[in-house]
Amino acid sequence: MRSRSEVIRQLTDPGLIAVVRARRRDQVLPLAEALIAGGVIAIEITMTTPEAIEAIREAAAFFGARALIGVGTILEADTCRKAIAAGAEFVVSPITKAGIVEAAHAADRPVMLGAYTPTEAQAAHEMGADFVKLFPADGLGASYIKALRAPLPHLKIVPTGGVDLTTVAPLIKAGCAALGVGSSLISPALLDREAWSELTQLARKFVDAVAAARNS
């Protein structure tokens, strides 16, 4: 099992976290396989996915070290503990709650707490969050993140919402530690068609876009 510090390193390289809200539990394995083939290894299975805990258990057992299987939409500590017991290697919450950090860190797992304002982001950091999930980031953009990090450069910001191929470069250049990518990568239409080869191609484009932004 990877250590918390190793998981943190792999979350920031290549720096993409796929936010998975599958229609059905049986979509998770082929969906994750397609993402891994495209270079996206950090896969956040949200609790809104049907039978999410079992989906995490199956994915963690099937992929092993090939992927980082995490859990998203965690709202309280008990679900956090259950997801980690099933194999989740990182924990993501849309809210700021200290109990989630305590539960994750007790299992040596990194955690990302949600925040929207500078006060919330700093509070998440002071609670011990390894990353701050800027959510919802739609409409805030790179200029907001750059302004936020000017007085708070210690924050490891991961925006979720509003991340697509056109916004990757400015968000990375604004100092984001990683990017949470949802429907612009795994769209409802793609899920309906189960277009896994298309997902692999799109994942590769996101990985290439992050690498280009970091190297420019």
Q: What is the four-CA torsion angle of 67, 36, 14, 208, rounded to 10 degrees?
A: 180
Q: Is 10 helix (H, G, I), strand (E, B) or coil?
A: helix
Place 37 in a pLDDT band, splitting at 50, 70 and 90.
Answer: very high
What is the number of alpha carbons within 13 Å of residue 132 lying toward its C-beta?
A: 27
The count of other CB atoms within 10 Å of the CB of residue 149 is 18
What integer pLDDT is reported at residue 1 of this predicted model? 79
DSSP string, 186-208: S-HHHHHHT-HHHHHHHHHHHHH
Range 32-44 average pLDDT: 98
Q: What is the four-CA torsion angle of 54, 36, 207, 92, rounded to 10 degrees?
A: 20
Q: pLDDT tens for residues 41-50?
A: 999 999 999 9
List of E strands, 96-139: 111-115, 131-134
69 has pLDDT over 90: yes
**Which pTM value belongs to this model?**
0.96
97 has pLDDT over 90: yes
**CATH code that applies to domain 4-215:** 3.20.20.70
Range 136-153 average pLDDT: 94
In the chain, % of residues over pLDDT 90: 98
What integer pLDDT is reported at residue 139 of this predicted model? 84
CA distance 122 to 139: 21
**Hey, what are 18's tokens?**
């796929």
Helix axes 196-215, 28-37, angle to 10 degrees: 40
Angle at 208 between CA 47 and CA 64, to 5 degrees: 45
Do residues 41 and 12 make contact, with C-beta atoms less than 8 angstroms apart?
Answer: no
Place 173 in a pLDDT band, splitting at 50, 70 and 90.
Answer: very high
Q: pLDDT tens for residues 112-129?
A: 999 999 999 999 999 999
CA distance 78 to 63: 25
* Average pLDDT over the chain, rounded to an integer: 97
